[in-house]
């Protein structure tokens, strides 16, 4: 086994400058995954969209960190690092397809095909960990991703947009799919160039964030309107009641308790007073 060459300061500095954008995008994407996982955990009912988004963002950001030159320099000479760096490429699309399915982007007839693609990608990842990086594995992966994305884009374009949120999510998805298509096509033909796929993923996350923020503000506005309506109903209830209860033996202490309850926003419970 050959001893790895010593790492120089110039190599580390060049790797850091080269990995700067990747480290930033990777950290941002993983932070989005952590936020999605936190929202999913605090909700009473787990949302599969948030769960799959958390897995997708976490794996995507982790892949960007694993493929940095700094980590490659630190682990040069390691037999398992090249296998892990290649195997994670086949794992990332699996939660992506599950997310698209949960979000309603996939047609019902395509669900079985999506599961088959996920199984094939999982087998490719395990095979890469076992025997190492193989060109045929990347070719199969590129063909599957290109075919699946082409079908997904065609179906998305045929569907009519239900509301503005669907339009925004569709545009972000189309940008992400277009850049993924280009990267797989470039790798398939061996065309050199920078990896611009993370830009598409960030555009997709921005579209999801916009939709989530708009829906949150809309829910807050609806809750504010409901509180105003309840306040009006409370005033109407108090206005139709007499200012004072009549002096009667039938109202010993309950009239004071009932008045306090009404002033506090409680429900009318006159049927309890006898």
Residue 261 domain flag: yes
* Residue with token string 């109407």: 236
Helix (H, G, I), strand (E, B) or coil at 128: helix
> Higher pLDDT residue, 106 or 203?
203
pLDDT bracket for residue 267 (50, 70, 90): very low
Q: What local confidence, expressed as pLDDT, does residue 235 receive?
A: 81
Residue 249 domain flag: yes
Residue 263 domain flag: yes
Q: What local confidence, expressed as pLDDT, does residue 44 receive?
A: 67
Going from the C-alpha of 222 to that of each of 56, 78, 215, 216, 228, the distances in angstroms are 32, 57, 10, 10, 10
pLDDT bracket for residue 222 (50, 70, 90): confident
> Higher pLDDT residue, 171 or 87?
87
If phi > 0 it is left, if psi is from -120 to 50 it is alpha, else beta; for residue 234 that is alpha
Q: How far apart are CA 107 and CA 56, in angstroms?
A: 20
Take residue 224 and report the two structure tokens written for it.
């504010």
Q: What local confidence, expressed as pLDDT, does residue 268 receive?
A: 43
Note down the domain range covering 261: 244-274
pLDDT tens-digit series, residues 93-106:
888 888 878 777 77
> Higher pLDDT residue, 6 or 81?
81
pLDDT at 86 over 70: yes
Q: What local confidence, expressed as pLDDT, does residue 123 receive?
A: 94
Q: Out of 30-44, 72-86, 135-149, 210-224, pick the least confident.
A: 210-224
What percent of the chain is predicted at pLDDT more than 90?
Answer: 8
Q: What local confidence, expressed as pLDDT, does residue 269 receive?
A: 45
Q: How far apart are CA 57 and CA 50, in angstroms?
A: 10
Number of domains in the chain: 1
- When mean pLDDT is compared over 70-74, 123-127, 258-262, the highest value belongs to 123-127
* Residue with token string 């090249």: 82
Give me the chain's average pLDDT, please. 78
Residue 144 domain flag: no
Q: What local confidence, expressed as pLDDT, does residue 256 receive?
A: 56
Residue 255 domain flag: yes
Q: Is the dihedral of CA 118, 124, 125, 127 positive or negative?
A: positive
Q: What local confidence, expressed as pLDDT, does residue 126 receive?
A: 94
pTM score over 0.75? no
- When mean pLDDT is compared over 116-130, 136-150, 206-220, the highest value belongs to 116-130
Residue 26 domain flag: no
Residue 121 domain flag: no
Residue 274 domain flag: yes
């Amino acid at each position: 086994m050959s001893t790895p060459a010593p790492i120089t300061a110039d190599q580390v500095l060049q790797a850091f400058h080269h990995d700067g954008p990747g480290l930033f995008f990777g950290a941002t994407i993983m932070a989005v995954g952590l936020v999605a996982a936190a929202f999913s955990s605090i909700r009473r009912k787990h949302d599969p969209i948030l769960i799959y988004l958390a897995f997708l963002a976490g794996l995507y950001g982790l892949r960007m960190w694993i493929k940095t030159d700094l980590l490659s320099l630190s682990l040069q000479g390691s037999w398992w690092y090249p296998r892990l760096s290649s195997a994670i490429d086949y794992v990332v699309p699996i939660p992506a397809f599950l997310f698209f399915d949960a979000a309603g982007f996939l047609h019902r007839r395509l669900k079985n095909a999506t599961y088959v693609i996920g199984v094939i990608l999982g087998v490719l990842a395990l095979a890469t960990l076992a025997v190492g990086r193989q060109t045929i594995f990347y070719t199969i992966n590129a063909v599957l991703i290109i075919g699946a994305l082409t079908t997904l884009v065609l179906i998305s374009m045929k569907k009519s947009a239900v509301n503005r949120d669907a339009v925004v999510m569709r545009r972000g998805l189309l940008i992400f799919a277009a850049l993924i298509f280009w990267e797989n096509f470039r790798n398939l033909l061996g065309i050199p160039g920078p990896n611009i796929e993370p830009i598409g993923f960030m555009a997709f996350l921005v579209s999801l964030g916009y939709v989530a923020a708009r829906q949150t503000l809309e829910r807050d506005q609806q809750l504010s309107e409901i509180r105003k309506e309840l306040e009006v109903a409370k005033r109407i209830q108090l206005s139709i009641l007499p200012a004072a209860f009549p002096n009667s033996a039938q109202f010993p202490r309950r009239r004071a308790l009932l008045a306090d309850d009404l002033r506090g926003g409680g429900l009318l419970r006159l049927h309890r007073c006898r």
